[in-house]
Chain A
Amino acid sequence: MEILEQFRTLISAENKFIKGWKHQKKPVLGYACSYTPEEIIYAGGILPIRVLGSLEPPKLADVYLPVNVCSFAKCCLNEALKGRYHLLDGHVVSNSCDNQNKVYDLWRHRTAIDKTYFINTPHSTTENAIKFFHEELERFKEWLTKEFSVEISEENLAETVQAFNENRRLLRRVYELRKRNPPSLSGSEALEIVLSSMMIPKDEHSKLLRALLKEIESREDLPKKGVRLLVSGSVMGNSELLKLVESVGGSVVADDLCTGSRYFWNLVKESGDSMMAIAERYLCKIPCPFMYSSEERFNHVKEMVKLFDVEGVLIFSLKSCDVHSFDAPLLAEELRENESLPVSCLELEHSLSGIGQLKTRIEAFIEMLEE
């Protein structure tokens, strides 16, 4: 389908929207974590784009960083060191995990990006935490208005929230297509669609989603039927791994990924003070494992398993990602014992080095499920 190619192009260097945006002399801001409230950035006429690294082995970052660092954080820094983010007017980091916090030091000391901002995201969802986060977001808004000489009005915020929510609702409808058997979209296609939503203005992306939802009904080259899998993990910045899973008989119909369902599952409340609604939404969304409670994420996985009729779960942990690595055995145990689901836990590098061995293990898992 041609339209799927369009989504794919948006996550490549060929993304014309970003160039066009820059051409209009409007700023582009990179962000490192799905807890970054994009609405506030976009309401100021600034384009937020997710920094996703690449598949290249991070040779430059390896000069400054030891081996035992999250390979995603390393790959992102590597791209910055290579000058691939020269179009960014700034970089925003959240207090998400040790890897991100500490690599932030390197962004400040070693890259050419001079405007950086750190949002102190709390790790709990209590009333106190929301109040604190709200204060942090107000300060972030102030920084944006000063640094980029923009205005961020309540009206703009409310409008932006609506546009973002609309995009989230549409993405949910896209996910619904995967409840079918065979699914109308493969897992790798769905991931590319979600990733691309982080790379252009949401209303533009929503236009594409609406077109997709129409065209998909007459799709002829449907993905093959396969073992219905849920993929759980942290950041997946490209679709290579899911393509691999789907090349050996898997059909990725659902996910619990930072760059998948966790990115768009929750909406922002559209009534009342927008800044407060944004603070609540981001803090109380399906949590990343750096948050106080893992239960909510585990429950999300269990819900997805039921909604999407999942037969097996692949848990991917990026090497040296502490928060996911601590959760992996717990989530596996919970799914095996309470849901009687087959689970495979796999560790990998973001650059997918050593993918051959990984492929063998995924293949063996899928074969076991096919029996």
Chain B
Amino acid sequence: MSERRLETLRGFYQNYVKPSYEAAHKAKEEGKLVAWVASTFPVEILLAMDIVPVWPENYASLCAARRVSVPLCELAERRGFSKDLCSYPRCVLGSLFDGENLPEGGIPRPDILVASTCACDTHLKWFQVASRIFRKPLLLLDVPYNVESANAQNLPDHYIQHYVSQLEDLISLLEEHSGIRLDEGKLRKTLELSNKASELWLKIQDYRKKVPAPMGAREAFSAVYFILCIPGTQEAVDFYERLCGELEQMVKQGLGVVENEKYRLVWDNLPLWFDLQMFPYLRSLGAVVVAETFSHVWTGSLDPSKPYESLARKHLSNMSNCTIEGRINLIVGLVRDFRANGVILPTNWGCRMMTIGETVVKEKVQEMTGVSSLILDVDSTDWRNYDEYRVKTKLETYLKTLE
């Protein structure tokens, strides 16, 4: 079965990812403030202050895609960091201990680190270690765990107050360190752009509800970069507009990313960054990933007149900050809305948040939608225990059960 390639995504790495690292290195040379950011931190604040965000998680995935992540993980392990820790920090910390022949000249060094406890402990601990290594301050947003899996409108007031008051303190500290005052007008504009990018990203997902789906996971895991890393920028909006245009055309012509679409899958968690060929392989079997949970946790409408409160609502209700009900509801919603007939639940060795409870997710999704799931024990970045043949066999066998 042949597959179609999307024009907008052609040369994505060369056109967008690589230049972003070049720009960050250049900004560092020019003396601009560079911040390490952990995902689920409201990056709009940094963007509005002209602080240059650098994403260590993105760097780890990049190293995996370039097949250099394992030697870097090993460097961290030699320094005493356990093999059972998340492979993202092992990879990035390892890169700090090497320094030679690193992709994109290594990850730009931070002047400051900002993290949020929204997604996991690992963000906090990893950034603590880095903060010690670089002797640079770590500013933390300590986010209450959304224990009722409440949506953005139904969160307890004291959660929101706690988030907002911390964000205010954190901005003051950022202002102190950068010497830049956060301009309210600029923040409003950044939030408006973020909203626009968010709407467009959702529109892109809407196109994927069509049968056949015009876009799969291979493209989504690239394109999500904008909404994840630089949502409040014109660049994000422009890119998503172009992608929307292309998808609209495809849908009009009834074209799918795969010619003969047989299976529509939901993909949970992360991809295998070191083996993105997994997705073309699935397509060769007639299977398209029509939705990823990862594509549905970064959107959310922000109210520019209440910037801090709406950022609080958005992040507190992020599925990664919720109990398992949050994840079950998201997957069930995706299965229904995207007319999926299969769900892949890849675990991630060092990730407790996404690994613990897979059996409950599988059971509940089956109960609520009648769709079965496949749990794959893998790691996103560390391929040492990866058996491609075994994983492919599992996938093939699973797809057969969906017929």
B46-87 vs A, CB cutoff 8 Å, 1 = contact: the mask equals 000000000000000000000000000000000111101110
A369 at the interface (CB under 8 A from B): no
Interface size on B, residues (CB 8 A): 44
In the bound complex, what is the Cα–Cα distance between A329 and B125 (angstroms)? 12
In the bound complex, what is the Cα–Cα distance between A320 and B352 (angstroms)? 8
B338 at the interface (CB under 8 A from A): no
* A299: min CB distance to chain B, Å: 14
In the bound complex, what is the Cα–Cα distance between A319 and B350 (angstroms)? 11
Is the beta-carbon distance between A106 and B129 smaller than 8 angstroms? no
Is the beta-carbon distance between B126 and A326 smaller than 8 angstroms? yes
Which of A69, A131, A290 lies in contact with B352, CB distance below 8 A? A69
Chain A, range 107-147, C-beta contacts under 8 Å to B: 109-110, 118, 120, 122-124, 126, 128-129, 131-132, 135-136
Given contacts A292-B140, A322-B86, A329-B80, contact A123 B117 (CB under 8 A): yes
Chain B, range 97-148, C-beta contacts under 8 Å to A: 117, 120-122, 124-126, 128-129, 132, 140, 142, 144-145, 147
Q: Which residues of A contact B324 (CB under 8 A)?
A: 102, 105, 109
Which of A65, A103, A129, A327 lies in contact with B142, CB distance below 8 A? A129
Question: Which residue on A lies nearest to B125, using beta carbons?
Answer: A326
In the bound complex, what is the Cα–Cα distance between A326 and B323 (angstroms)? 24
Q: Which residues of B contact A124 (CB under 8 A)?
A: 140, 142
A186 at the interface (CB under 8 A from B): no
Question: Which residue on A lies nearest to B355, using beta carbons?
Answer: A66
Which of B84, B120, B140, B162 lies in contact with A325, CB distance below 8 A? B84
Given contacts A128-B165, A290-B121, A319-B84, contact A99 B142 (CB under 8 A): no
A302-330 vs B, CB cutoff 8 Å, 1 = contact: the mask equals 00000000000000010110110111111
Is the beta-carbon distance between A330 and B132 smaller than 8 angstroms? yes
Q: Which residues of A contact B359 (CB under 8 A)?
A: 63-65
B236-274 vs A, CB cutoff 8 Å, 1 = contact: the mask equals 000000000000000000000000000000000000000
In the bound complex, what is the Cα–Cα distance between A124 and B163 (angstroms)? 12
A70-114 vs B, CB cutoff 8 Å, 1 = contact: the mask equals 100000000000000000000000010111011111100110000
Which of B84, B125, B323 lies in contact with A68, CB distance below 8 A? B84
A332 at the interface (CB under 8 A from B): yes
In the bound complex, what is the Cα–Cα distance between A345 and B122 (angstroms)? 20
Question: Which residue on A lies nearest to B120, using beta carbons?
Answer: A98
In the bound complex, what is the Cα–Cα distance between A118 and B321 (angstroms)? 14
Is the beta-carbon distance between B80 and A105 smaller than 8 angstroms? no
Is the beta-carbon distance between B356 and A95 smaller than 8 angstroms? no
B370 at the interface (CB under 8 A from A): no
In the bound complex, what is the Cα–Cα distance between A121 and B26 (angstroms)? 41
Given contacts A68-B355, A109-B324, contact A120 B81 (CB under 8 A): no
Is the beta-carbon distance between B357 and A106 smaller than 8 angstroms? yes
A183 at the interface (CB under 8 A from B): no
Given contacts A128-B162, A135-B158, contact A120 B145 (CB under 8 A): yes
Is the beta-carbon distance between B356 and A123 smaller than 8 angstroms? no
Which of A66, A126, A290, A345 lies in contact with B377, CB distance below 8 A? A66
Question: Which residue on B lies nearest to A98, using beta carbons?
Answer: B352
Is the beta-carbon distance between B356 and A69 smaller than 8 angstroms? yes
Question: Which residue on A lies nearest to B357, using beta carbons?
Answer: A105
Interface size range of chain A in the complex: 35 or more
A347 at the interface (CB under 8 A from B): yes
Question: Which residue on A lies nearest to B81, using beta carbons?
Answer: A329
A266 at the interface (CB under 8 A from B): no
A48 at the interface (CB under 8 A from B): no
Is the beta-carbon distance between B144 and A132 smaller than 8 angstroms? yes
A-B contact count (CB 8 A): 132
* B319: min CB distance to chain A, Å: 13
Question: Which residue on B lies nearest to A99, using beta carbons?
Answer: B352
Question: Which residue on B lies nearest to A331, using beta carbons?
Answer: B80
Which of A66, A126, A294 lies in contact with B347, CB distance below 8 A? A66
Which of A102, A109, A322, A329 lies in contact with B122, CB distance below 8 A? A322
Q: Which residues of A contact B347 (CB under 8 A)?
A: 66, 68
Is the beta-carbon distance between A294 and B128 smaller than 8 angstroms? yes
* B363: min CB distance to chain A, Å: 9
Question: Which residue on A lies nearest to B124, using beta carbons?
Answer: A123
B360 at the interface (CB under 8 A from A): yes
- Please indicate which of the listed interface residues B323, B347, B356, B359 has the most CB atoms of chain A within 10 Å of its own CB: B356
Question: Which residue on A lies nearest to B132, using beta carbons?
Answer: A330
Which of B126, B159, B323 lies in contact with A104, CB distance below 8 A? B323
In the bound complex, what is the Cα–Cα distance between A329 and B85 (angstroms)? 13
* B345: min CB distance to chain A, Å: 11
A233 at the interface (CB under 8 A from B): no
Is the beta-carbon distance between B86 and A109 smaller than 8 angstroms? no
* B138: min CB distance to chain A, Å: 8
Q: Which residues of B contact A30 (CB under 8 A)?
A: none
* B366: min CB distance to chain A, Å: 14
Q: Which residues of A contact B352 (CB under 8 A)?
A: 68-70, 97-99, 102, 320, 322
* B395: min CB distance to chain A, Å: 19
Which of A70, A101, A332 lies in contact with B80, CB distance below 8 A? A332
In the bound complex, what is the Cα–Cα distance between A330 and B133 (angstroms)? 10
Is the beta-carbon distance between B81 and A325 smaller than 8 angstroms? yes
Q: Which residues of B contact A322 (CB under 8 A)?
A: 85-86, 121-122, 125, 350, 352
Given contacts A68-B84, A332-B80, contact A103 B121 (CB under 8 A): no
A260 at the interface (CB under 8 A from B): no
B358 at the interface (CB under 8 A from A): yes
* A96: min CB distance to chain B, Å: 9
B155-197 vs A, CB cutoff 8 Å, 1 = contact: the mask equals 0001101100110010000000000000000000000000000
- Between-chain CB contacts (< 8 Å), 18 pairs: A63-B359, A64-B359, A64-B360, A66-B355, A95-B147, A99-B356, A101-B145, A101-B353, A102-B352, A105-B356, A120-B145, A128-B169, A129-B162, A322-B86, A326-B81, A326-B85, A329-B80, A345-B80
- Other A-B pairs, 15, CB within 8 Å; known A70-B352, A319-B82, A323-B121: A68-B355, A98-B120, A98-B121, A104-B323, A128-B166, A129-B162, A132-B162, A290-B121, A292-B140, A322-B85, A325-B85, A328-B80, A328-B82, A330-B129, A330-B132
